[in-house]
């Protein structure tokens, strides 16, 4: 079991979270129409978020970050997720998967170089998925070949659906360093690749169903040369393990975002139900409307409890592969159900773009897909259940 992480002083963190909640409601919510109209987070808000330290929440204090533990980080994500998803998306890769991989697998020299940079606001992206592979690492086509002089590597390949790619400063790229798939995915290694390295390019941002302002794009690697110290951890064959460890953190982030956005949608439905009248009274008085409100409240509360449990386990140093997957599955599926009820409560207005319910519905759909689809995670949960059962027989 790993050492526990106490995180930021709880009183200081409570004050920070209170300030963040006010910032979300007073600054970010009014900016949502701008984000939607221009499909980007406004530059002034992006700078404010950097100054607030949101890009370095989980970076150790001695390297310029806030040093939050996982429980505190998840609470920040939950709070930020009350606003449009783009605000969380822009910093989540930094403080989630990228920093987790750097913490778990980086050398002291790599940590000393990259932690201050991402804490200062440099934006990271995470390059695992490819046109022909996602969870199936054996099908990965991106290669990293050692230079003849042994001083570096040359990367070639394409990564797909990469969050933040259009404006990222650095990418953590997973690449095949062995031709054949070795046991425990040891054919995959991880590389820290500055996005301005010659040969790195990105495609145009993909047009998506929802989540305006949060950008994804392809990352193309064409004879990209990186020095030897770009290899995460300084060893080949460990990249996939670092990626999977960091995906647990990413799944917790998506679960927290799902719960936070579901809370936003339910609050919107409550307001609408008390204002909209039918048959001479607010529709909130109708029992079947109350049923949908109550079911949504119950499920959000369950997700919030799961979040507190799994993050506390992480901070105690427990292995949480199964719990992180279960939380992400439940929270993302729950969010979809809540959004569907919210549209139904809005009635015909819920189908119109001028009302928030339609946007909530589209935005939430991705939560059940990225960082591991529900189906892939169900397979993972069952695999670990069976493995644990057989180990104890």
- If we measure between CA atoms, which residue out of 311, 304, 309 comes closest to residue 248? 311
> Do 110 and 129 share a domain, yes or no?
no
Domain boundary among 79, 104, 123: 123
- Which backbone phi and psi does 157 adopt, to 5 degrees? 150, -175
The tally of domains found in the chain comes to 3
Domain boundary among 222, 239, 256: 239
pLDDT tens-digit readout, 109-146: 999 999 999 999 999 999 988 998 776 766 789 999 99
> Do 86 and 160 share a domain, yes or no?
no
Give a yes or no: residue 363 inside a domain. yes
Q: Which residues contact 284 (CB under 8 A, 6 or more apart)?
A: 270, 273, 274, 290, 293
Which residues is 145 bridged to in the sheet?
Answer: 154
> Do 292 and 312 share a domain, yes or no?
yes
Note the pLDDT of residue 244: 75
Q: Which residues contact 101 (CB under 8 A, 6 or more apart)?
A: 126, 172, 190, 232, 242, 243, 245, 246
> Do 248 and 224 share a domain, yes or no?
no
> Do 302 and 246 share a domain, yes or no?
yes
Residue 26 structural domain:
10-123
Note the pLDDT of residue 5: 75
> Do 188 and 288 share a domain, yes or no?
no
Q: Are 206 and 161 in contact (CB under 8 A)?
A: yes
The parts of the chain modelled with pLDDT lower than 70 are: 1-4, 135, 137-138, 181-184
Give a yes or no: residue 1 inside a domain. no
CATH number, position 45? 1.10.540.10
Note the pLDDT of residue 220: 97
> Do 249 and 387 share a domain, yes or no?
yes
- Which backbone phi and psi does 319 adopt, to 5 degrees? -80, 120
Q: What is the pTM of this model?
A: 0.92
Quote the CA–CA distance of 85 and 292 in Å, as a whole number: 24
Quote the CA–CA distance of 201 and 287 in Å, as a whole number: 55
> Do 131 and 56 share a domain, yes or no?
no
- Tokens matching residue 176: 């095949």
Quote the CA–CA distance of 209 and 227 in Å, as a whole number: 39
Give a yes or no: residue 63 inside a domain. yes
> Do 154 and 88 share a domain, yes or no?
no
> Do 35 and 133 share a domain, yes or no?
no
Handedness of CA 155, 156, 161, 167 (dihedral sign): positive
Catalytic residues: 371
Half-sphere exposure of 217 (CA within 13 A, CB side): 17
Residue 251, SS3 per DSSP? helix
Quote the CA–CA distance of 144 and 94 in Å, as a whole number: 23
Which secondary-structure segment (H or E) carries 366? none
Domain boundary among 74, 98, 123: 123
> Do 33 and 45 share a domain, yes or no?
yes
> Do 119 and 130 share a domain, yes or no?
no
CATH number, position 177? 2.40.110.10
């Amino acid at each position: 079991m790993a050492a526990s992480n106490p995180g930021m002083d709880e009183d200081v963190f409570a004050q920070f979270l209170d300030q963040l909640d006010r910032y979300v409601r007073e600054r970010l919510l009014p900016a949502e129409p701008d984000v939607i109209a221009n499909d980007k987070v406004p530059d002034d808000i992006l700078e404010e978020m950097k100054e607030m330290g949101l890009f370095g929440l989980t970076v150790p204090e001695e390297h310029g970050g806030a040093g939050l533990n996982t429980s505190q980080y998840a609470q920040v994500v939950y709070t930020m997720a009350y606003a449009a998803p783009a605000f969380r998306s822009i910093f989540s890769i930094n403080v989630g998967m990228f920093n987790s991989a750097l913490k778990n697998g980086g050398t002291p020299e790599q940590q000393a170089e990259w932690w201050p940079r991402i804490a200062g606001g440099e934006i990271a992206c995470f390059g695992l998925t490819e046109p022909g592979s996602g969870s199936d690492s054996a099908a990965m086509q991106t290669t990293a070949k050692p230079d003849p002089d042994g001083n570096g590597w040359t990367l070639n390949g394409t990564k797909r659906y990469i969050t933040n790619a259009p404006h990222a400063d650095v990418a953590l790229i997973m690449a095949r360093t062995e031709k054949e798939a070795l046991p425990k995915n040891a054919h995959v290694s991880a590389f820290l690749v500055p996005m301005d390295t010659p040969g790195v390019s990105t495609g145009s941002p993909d047009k998506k169903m929802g989540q305006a302002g949060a950008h994804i794009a392809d990352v193309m690697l064409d004879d990209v040369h990186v020095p030897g110290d770009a290899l995460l951890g300084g060893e080949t064959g460990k990249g996939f393990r670092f990626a999977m460890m960091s995906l647990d953190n990413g799944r917790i982030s998506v679960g927290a975002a799902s719960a936070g956005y579901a809370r936003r949608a339910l609050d919107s439905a409550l307001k609408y139900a008390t204002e909209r009248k039918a048959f001479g009274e607010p529709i909130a008085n109708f029992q079947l409307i109350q049923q949908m409100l109550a079911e949504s409240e119950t499920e959000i509360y369950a997700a919030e409890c799961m979040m507190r449990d799994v993050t506390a386990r992480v901070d105690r140093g427990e292995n949480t592969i199964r719990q992180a997957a279960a939380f992400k599955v439940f929270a993302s599926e729950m969010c979809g159900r809540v959004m569907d009820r919210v549209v139904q409560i809005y009635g015909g207005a819920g189908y119109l773009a001028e009302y928030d319910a339609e946007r909530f519905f589209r935005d939430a759909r991705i939560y059940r897909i990225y960082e591991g689809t529900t189906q892939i995670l169900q397979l993972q949960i069952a695999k670990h259940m069976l493995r644990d059962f057989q180990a104890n027989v």
